Chains A and B, each alone.
Chain A
């Protein structure tokens, strides 16, 4: 079993839709959680850190469920510009090492 797993998709949604991605992790000692956005052939860019209590940034909401060992990303009112690959990343303890999921591809269509 991979340490961090995501459904690779692709998720094809119309503009204005709400879409949610999940990411499961196997190491219960994991301490920090992140969502990155990656456009084709570009570097990953930090979208959100995931706080224990959940956090929201505009149309984006991140949640952490420690009991079930997953994090989620909710995107409301999808825009064409949201089309990208979304990578979840998990850091175990204070190792400083990130383990990435394989990414989930989102395609928002007009």
Chain B
């Protein structure tokens, strides 16, 4: 079983719709992250959470919100989707007490298309 799972894996939606992307992990890590990836731009951080009561904006948080429902779950919402939010979205986890350098581990990604 995958340690970090994301649902849905693919989603096509229309402009103005609300959509939620979900991330679950069985790694027991405290820290969770949401990134988006666009061609030629690499991965950019949207939001991150270091524990259940901690939520922080990343580089590109406008138009997004998050919810950390439990240690293992971190959801990303687009309240009113727009076409330039079409991208590949990745969830990641880490734990500074595991490994040497606080490495991050990624879920399989959600491909979102906003028409």
A residues near B (Cβ < 8 Å) are 4, 8, 32-34, 41-46, 49, 87, 89, 91, 94, 96-103
Contacts and interface: CB of A to CB of B under 8 A. Distances in A.
Contacts of B44: 100
B106 A102 contact: no
Chain B interface size band reads: 20 to 34
Contacts of A32: 101-102
Interface stretch (B68-76, B78-86, B88-96): B88-96
A87 B96 contact: no
B40 A8 contact: yes
B108 to A, nearest CB: 5
A54 to B, nearest CB: 14
Nearest to B39: A102
B42 A87 contact: yes
Nearest to A98: B104
B106 A45 contact: yes
B42 A43 contact: no
Given A96-B48, A96-B50, A44 B43 contact: yes
Interface string B37-51: 000111111001010
Contacts of B48: 96-97
A101 B33 CA distance: 17
